[in-house]
Amino acid sequence: MEATLAMPVNAPQRADQRAGKYLTFQLGNEEFAIQVLRVREIMGVQEITAVPQTPGYVKGVINLRGKVIPVVDLRLKFGLAEMEYTQRTCIIVVQIQGEADKLLIGVIVDAVSEVLTLQASEIEDTPDFGSGVATPYLLGMAKIKGKVKILLDIDKVLSSQDVSGLGF
Amino acid sequence: MDSEQKASTVGTLNSPNSLASDPELLNDFIVEAREHLTNIELQLLTLDQDPANAEAIHAVFRGFHTIKGMAGFLDLNAIRDVSHEVETILDLARNGQLAINSDVIDAILASKDYLSRALSELDAMLQSGRSPKTESNQALIEIIRGVATGGHEESCEEARPGMPQQESSAVRQEMTGSSAIPEGTTGLAELARGVEAKPGKAVESSKNIDVICSTEAVEASKPADAPAGVARSIKVDTAKLDYLVDMVGEMVIAQSMVRHDPDLATGLRPRLARNLSQLARITDEVQRTAMSMRMIPIGQLFQKTARLVRDLSRKAGKQVDLELSGEETELDRNIVEELADPLMHMVRNAVDHGIETSEERVRAGKPAAAKVALKAAHQAGHILIQITDDGRGLDCEKILRKARDKGLVDADVTLSEQEIFALIFQPGFSTAEKITDVSGRGVGMDVVRKHVQKLRGRIEVHSSIGHGTTFLIKLPLTLAIIDGLVVAVGNQRYIVPIFAVREMLKPSQDAISTIRGREEMALVRGALLPLLRLHRRFGVEPKFSNPWDSLLIVSESNGKQFCLMVDELIGKQEVVIKSLGEAMRNIPGVAGGAILGDGRVGLILDLEGLFGARMQTAASGAQDHA
């Protein structure tokens, strides 16, 4: 009994770990997905307080029910063109592993789509884009109804080193 | 017997005993033993002043006795054996067979330190799981025995029983029989072992255990110096308390948001108004209570310095009287913790460097015994801590000369006395040995100031040569909330901590001048102060671009005043300080964030950081030109 319970967690294949529920969202023309377990809440864009001397993709901080959390624009982080925020623009609050503690970070995306359950068989490894293209923050790809969803490793996307700003 | 005893005294901390390996029990023991040790130190310092104080002797005895009992139970032989030896001398002292002198107190203090270290080691073992290093206690035990025999040879022999392992059953019988006298030589563990070893005597012995258990329980649960009516209290995780205070702060802000809601402001009926003000009163009360829960008296901290002064003055051969006042002044626990290091440092400086030797003092016509005074008091929503010595004082000329040698001050600049004193807080200045020898102070004063600033406090020096030095530390009552001025730059709101603000003004056009085409200066009360435009620093579009339309905030950094230019003042607000999280911890000029009245986040400015960073960029810019 114990052994069967422990199996999925300790299984060596990466594909098995990647299976599960994902929240998908849009960014430009692409669909991305992050593990639902990492998502704390989704909210509309609210007033963001700019923080000086942080990289451009760090939009600032917001008030999450009395907690101050940083917000990152994923478009800018991925080098896409900046867009006006619309009614559909959302902040996804995710929990990531920081240096010391778990921390909450808001991620701005174009629009949130749906929650999907992905089987291990539906997930493929990230294709090799050739040398020079680093893909450390991709978990893999999933093809659902002919459309490709890019699975993100949100910890790596928002590694605190990246968020902490440049220049000092 | 002697060699056997030796073997048993070098105890080990890890043993196969099942109780000893229970981390929870060990943890409880560490916590409790530390409390006892703190109390023991306090009582010892009392004894140092008044060696005949029987109550203090009893209190110290009870502390060691309880520790010994618990340590024996947990097979912590090293701790048990040291406590045991101390207990022996204390017992002699109690019976009037040994006079308490400073040698005895030194030995007991040394034992207390040994036990503290052993507890820390044990704690580290619990945290990391590694096996502990056991410091040898042999030398210490020899010292203690030396003190005991020095006092009274024969009685010492009597009073020192053999170690439990080798004890004959006859001795045990005698001792268990006499356990009603709290001789302190029969620990719980020893008795327990006796029960195991001799089943035949189990009934008889277990009665005795009951007796001892109950007296020990009473002793353990009652701090030795507390009167009969002990304050009832519970222990709460400080993280929970911090969270409570944080949330109460938010509640206060939310409450004020409701109260000032524009929808409510129009057509407020009397009943609603009454209920709202009732709510305001209650939230105020809740906030005050929550804050008071984190407050502890500063006395504990002062007590630590008492020990330090005693040790240092004995080592340096100086006579120093420490005067404490205002020990009952309460302040935030977090501040007390942060204050410990700087306070120790300053007291050490005062005794080491500030105070002359007795001969020098007599030659200068001062009393041979120097005075160091620690005072704490509330003053207008702040805590004032004063450290005064009547030593040689700071020598302005020497400080200035040294600063010029080090290139900290240009040769042609004249400085006021306060500006010269401020130099001792310069990093790097401290290492100047000559200064520390000649004029006192200097060792790590920059660290002291950094600590105080971190606590959002200020430090001032007053000194007159030959008469002594006074350090004044002004601290906020709590770290959780600050009084802030909400200012606007463009559409951004920033909070300027009020403690950092000297004054605010709207300058006239001719008060602003530009030096070398880039550095702007403002003439304020006859002094030219550098002008720092916040909007340029933070890259924000301002409402006004001319300083004479804007508001200037005069502040001070490293003893130098400067002006910060913002658009306008919005108002004054108490805010709860929030960290921006580990990702944005180290942004120069930003101390944190706070939720403003409208629910938005405002950044709290760190004026020192802003100005400091400006100096750095100016310096690097100058290098670029060169």
Distances B76 to A102, B73, B119, B129, B142 between C-alpha atoms, Å: 38, 8, 10, 16, 19
Within a domain: B233: no
What count of other Cβ atoms lies within 10 Å of the Cβ of residue B317? 8
Under the banding of pLDDT at 50, 70 and 90, the label for residue B335 is confident
Same domain for B309 and B243: no
| Nearest-by-Cβ selection for B581 from A49, A69, A168 | A69
d(CA B389, CA B408): 27
pLDDT score at B17: 52
DSSP-assigned states of every residue in B320-333: EEEEEE-TT-EEEH
Same domain for B342 and B284: no
Q: Which residue of A has its CA nearest to B254?
A: A66
| Nearest-by-Cβ selection for B601 from A62, A163, A165 | A62
Model confidence over B20-62: pLDDT tens digits? 667 777 877 888 888 888 888 888 888 888 888 888 888 888 8
pLDDT score at B569: 92
What count of other Cβ atoms lies within 10 Å of the Cβ of residue B116? 15
The residue among B421, B452, B476 that closes a domain is B476
Same domain for B69 and B213: yes
The domain tally of chain B equals: 4
Contact state of A63 with B250 under an 8 Å Cβ cutoff: no
CA distance A13 to chain B (A): 32
CATH superfamily of A21-163: CheA-289, Domain 4 (2.40.50.180)
**For testing contact with chain A, the best of B248, B582, B604, B617 (most A CBs within 10 A):** B582
What parts of chain A have a pLDDT lower than 50?
A: 1-13, 15, 160, 162-168
CATH classification of the domain holding B497: 2.40.50.180
Sort out which chain A residues have CB atoms less than 8 A from B617's CB and list them. Answer: none
Same domain for B269 and B347: no
pLDDT score at B588: 81
Q: Which residue of A has its CA nearest to B588?
A: A53
Crossing angle of helices B138-151 and B102-128, in 10° steps, is: 160
For residues A47 and B600, the answer to whether their CB atoms sit within 8 Å is yes
pTM of the complete model:
0.55
Sort out which chain A residues have CB atoms less than 8 A from B601's CB and list them. Answer: 49, 60-63, 68
d(CA B67, CA B119): 11
Same domain for B142 and B52: yes
What count of other Cβ atoms lies within 10 Å of the Cβ of residue B193? 16
Task: Report strand pairing: B382-389 vs A138-144.
Answer: unpaired
Select from B375, B614, B391, B566 the least CA-distant residue to B472. Answer: B375
Instruction: Please determine, for the modelled complex, whether the ipTM score is greater than 0.85.
Output: no
Sort out which chain A residues have CB atoms less than 8 A from B247's CB and list them. Answer: 66
Indicate the range of A23-27, B7-11, B615-619 predicted with least confidence.
Answer: B7-11
CA distance A57 to chain B (A): 13
Task: Read off the DSSP letter of residue A148.
Answer: E
Within a domain: B231: no
Model confidence over B572-598: pLDDT tens digits? 887 878 878 777 777 888 888 888 877
Q: Which residue of B has its CA nearest to A61?
A: B601
Contact state of B581 with A70 under an 8 Å Cβ cutoff: yes
Indicate the range of B280-284, B477-481, B529-533, B540-544 predicted with least confidence.
Answer: B477-481
Under the banding of pLDDT at 50, 70 and 90, the label for residue B487 is very high
d(CA B601, CA A50): 9
Sort out which chain A residues have CB atoms less than 8 A from B600's CB and list them. Answer: 47, 49, 63
* Mean pLDDT computed over every residue of chain B: 75
Same domain for B133 and B36: yes
Select from A76, A72, A124, A78 the least CA-distant residue to A93. Answer: A72
d(CA B70, CA B60): 16
Residues 6 or more apart whose Cβ sits within 8 Å of residue B291 = B245, B332, B477, B478, B480, B481
Whether residue B439 has pLDDT greater than 50: no
Same domain for B262 and B134: no
Residues 6 or more apart whose Cβ sits within 8 Å of residue B496 = B484, B485, B487, B553, B564, B566, B605, B607
Within a domain: B357: yes
Sort out which chain B residues have CB atoms less than 8 A from A164's CB and list them. Answer: 582-586
CA distance B262 to chain A (A): 19
Within a domain: B232: no
CA distance A49 to chain B (A): 6
| Nearest-by-Cβ selection for B584 from A67, A99, A164 | A164
Residue B496 pairs in a beta bridge with: B485
Helices and strands (DSSP H and E) totals, chain B = 22, 18
Provide the residue range defining the domain that includes B373. 298-476
Within a domain: B489: yes
| Nearest-by-Cβ selection for A49 from B539, B589, B601 | B601
Q: Which residue of B has its CA nearest to A104?
A: B581
Model confidence over B360-372: pLDDT tens digits? 888 888 888 888 8
Q: How many CB pairs under 8 A join A and B?
A: 82
Within a domain: B229: no
**For testing contact with chain A, the best of B601, B603, B617 (most A CBs within 10 A):** B601
Sort out which chain B residues have CB atoms less than 8 A from A103's CB and list them. Answer: 581-583
Residue B562 pairs in a beta bridge with: B555
Same domain for B100 and B193: yes
Same domain for B550 and B459: no
Task: Report strand pairing: B492-497 vs A30-35.
Answer: unpaired
Sort out which chain A residues have CB atoms less than 8 A from B580's CB and list them. Answer: 51, 61, 68, 70
CA distance B598 to chain A (A): 11
Within a domain: B204: yes
Strands, sheet with A67-73, edge to edge from the N-terminal-most edge strand: A39-44, A90-97, A102-109, A67-73, A58-64
Same domain for B495 and B472: no
CA distance B526 to chain A (A): 33
CA dihedral (B146, B147, B151, B156) positive or negative: negative
The residue among B459, B476, B493 that closes a domain is B476
d(CA B479, CA B75): 43
Strands, sheet with B568-576, edge to edge from the N-terminal-most edge strand: B568-576, B481-489, B492-497, B601-605, B590-595
Same domain for B159 and B57: yes
Distances A141 to A10, A34, A83, A127, B481 between C-alpha atoms, Å: 22, 11, 26, 8, 48
CATH classification of the domain holding B146: 1.20.120.160
Residue A49 pairs in a beta bridge with: A61
Sort out which chain B residues have CB atoms less than 8 A from A66's CB and list them. Answer: 246-247, 250, 595
Under the banding of pLDDT at 50, 70 and 90, the label for residue B296 is confident
Percent of chain B with pLDDT strictly greater than 90: 6
CA distance A166 to chain B (A): 10
Model confidence over B209-241: pLDDT tens digits? 333 333 344 444 444 444 444 456 777 887 888
The values of phi and psi at residue B556, to 5°, are -135, 135
Within a domain: B227: no
Q: Which residue of A has its CA nearest to B249?
A: A66
Model confidence over B87-127: pLDDT tens digits? 888 888 877 788 888 888 888 888 888 888 888 888 888 77
CA distance B478 to chain A (A): 19
Query: 């007590």: which residue's tokens?
Result: B303
CATH classification of the domain holding B277: 1.10.287
Task: Read off the DSSP letter of residue B578.
Answer: B
Q: Which residue of B has its CA nearest to A167?
A: B587
Contact state of B586 with A67 under an 8 Å Cβ cutoff: no
Contact state of B593 with A103 under an 8 Å Cβ cutoff: no
Under the banding of pLDDT at 50, 70 and 90, the label for residue B305 is confident
Residue B347, both tokens: 């007291």
d(CA B326, CA A72): 50
Residue A25, both tokens: 């969202």
For residues B485 and B499, the answer to whether their CB atoms sit within 8 Å is no
Crossing angle of helices B54-73 and B202-221, in 10° steps, is: 120
d(CA B497, CA B604): 7
Same domain for B308 and B275: no
For residues A49 and A61, the answer to whether their CB atoms sit within 8 Å is yes
Q: Could you tell me the residue ranges of all domains in chain A?
A: 21-163
Contact state of A100 with B588 under an 8 Å Cβ cutoff: no
Task: With residue B242 as reference, give the H or E element that holds it.
Answer: helix B238-259
**For testing contact with chain B, the best of A53, A99, A157 (most B CBs within 10 A):** A53
The residue among B450, B476, B502 that closes a domain is B476
Strands, sheet with B519-524, edge to edge from the N-terminal-most edge strand: B501-505, B551-557, B560-566, B527-533, B519-524, B512-515
Indicate the range of A13-17, B140-144, B446-450 predicted with least confidence.
Answer: A13-17
Residues 6 or more apart whose Cβ sits within 8 Å of residue B165 = B8
* B14 vs B73: which has the higher pLDDT: B73
Sort out which chain B residues have CB atoms less than 8 A from A58's CB and list them. Answer: 584
Task: Read off the DSSP letter of residue A136.
Answer: T
Interface of B with A (CB under 8 A): 246-247, 250, 492-493, 537-540, 578-590, 592-593, 595, 599-603
Percent of chain B with pLDDT strictly greater than 70: 75
**For testing contact with chain B, the best of A51, A65, A160 (most B CBs within 10 A):** A51
Q: Which residue of A has its CA nearest to B493?
A: A49
CA distance B452 to chain A (A): 24
Query: Cα torsion for A54, A56, A57, A60, to the nearest 10°?
Result: 50
Residue B267, both tokens: 């057509």
Contact state of B246 with A66 under an 8 Å Cβ cutoff: yes
